[in-house]
Amino acid sequence: MKVQIWSDVQCPFCYIGKRRFEEALSAFNHSDEIEVEWKSFLLNPTLKTDPNISVYQSLADSKGWQIDYAKQVTRQVTEMAEQVGLNFNFDQAVVANSFNAHRLSHLAKQYNKGDALEEQLFKAYFTEGKNIDDVAILTEIGISVGLDETEVKEMLATNAYTDDVNRDVYEAQTLNIRGVPFFVVNNRYAVSGAQATEVFLNTLQTAYAEWQKQPVELSVTDGPNCKPGGEC
């Protein structure tokens, strides 16, 4: 059964939501039958990478906040993250556009390493204060989850997977997804936001029960064909 997760690397609730979903998955009796697919969502597609300004200044500029208020908001989010074992360091976070990180995520998906890569991207941005738009950093992250160094560098040097990112963004629009994280379970149930672990678990259980009941039937549209024995 598939679970699709629309997310952005710079979304703190996406990292928190990932942990709560993982907690639910660990308590779910059929976790080995769940396929997780990460999908791209761009919270600020026009954001310019600028390591010389703080996240607080960036938030103040983009949202019209005062610096002190930006610090207050991020402090509250940091406390929420601590409840699921995450350590956020907004003082060290680097203001960076996430588009290239999303392209790398699509490369990782081709090798079934999408979830591992998302974890390392979140960690790099929120905990380690790394520039997730820097080619060297992205290459390092890609290698850390088992991707080929040459392939990662070649991908980052081109426009590879740009269409894939844009396709995810467009799909989110068609589904009227206005915020992330956004979880779609079995193409039927949706969970919006970093909900409680129990919400994720209940959704998984409900969706799985329905998924198990779905009949596996082959729908055939007949046309000209040949049969055994030479009959055509």
Q: How far apart are the first and last CA of the chain?
A: 39
Q: What is the pTM of this model?
A: 0.91
Question: Do β-strands 182-185 and 189-192 pair in parallel, antiparallel, or remain unpaired?
Answer: antiparallel
**206-224 residue pLDDT tens:** 999 999 887 544 444 445 4
- Number of domains composing the chain: 1
In a domain, 118, yes or no: yes
**98-113 residue pLDDT tens:** 999 999 999 999 999 9
User: Would you state the pLDDT for residue 19?
Assistant: 98
Q: Give the residues across from 182 on adjacent strands.
A: 6, 192
Per-position DSSP letters for 124-143, written without gaps between them? IIIIS---TT-HHHHHHHHH
Answer yes or no: are the C-beta atoms of 8 and 42 closer than 8 Å. yes
CA distance 223 to 135: 52
In a domain, 232, yes or no: no
Distance of CA 133 to the CA centre of its chain: 16
In a domain, 38, yes or no: yes
Which one-letter amino acid corresponds to residue 43? Answer: L
Span 123-127, mean pLDDT? 98
Answer yes or no: are the C-beta atoms of 11 and 45 closer than 8 Å. no
User: Would you state the pLDDT for residue 228?
Assistant: 53
In a domain, 20, yes or no: yes
CA distance 23 to 165: 28
Answer yes or no: are the C-beta atoms of 131 and 141 closer than 8 Å. no
Helix, strand, coil percentages, rounded to 5, for the chain:
50, 10, 40
In a domain, 179, yes or no: yes
In a domain, 231, yes or no: no
Name every residue whose Cβ is closer than 8 Å to that of residue 79 and which is 6 or more positions away in sequence.
none
Q: Which two tokens stand for residue 41?
A: 């969502």
In a domain, 61, yes or no: yes
In a domain, 224, yes or no: no
Question: Containing domain of residue 123, as a range?
Answer: 2-213
- Number of Cβ atoms within 10 Å of the Cβ of 123: 16
Q: Could you tell me the CATH number of the domain that includes residue 25? A: 3.40.30.10
Listed range (25-29, 60-64, 113-117, 122-126) with the worst mean pLDDT: 60-64
HSE-up (13 A, CA, CB side) for residue 223 = 1
Which one-letter amino acid corresponds to residue 179? Answer: G
User: Would you state the pLDDT for residue 213?
Assistant: 85
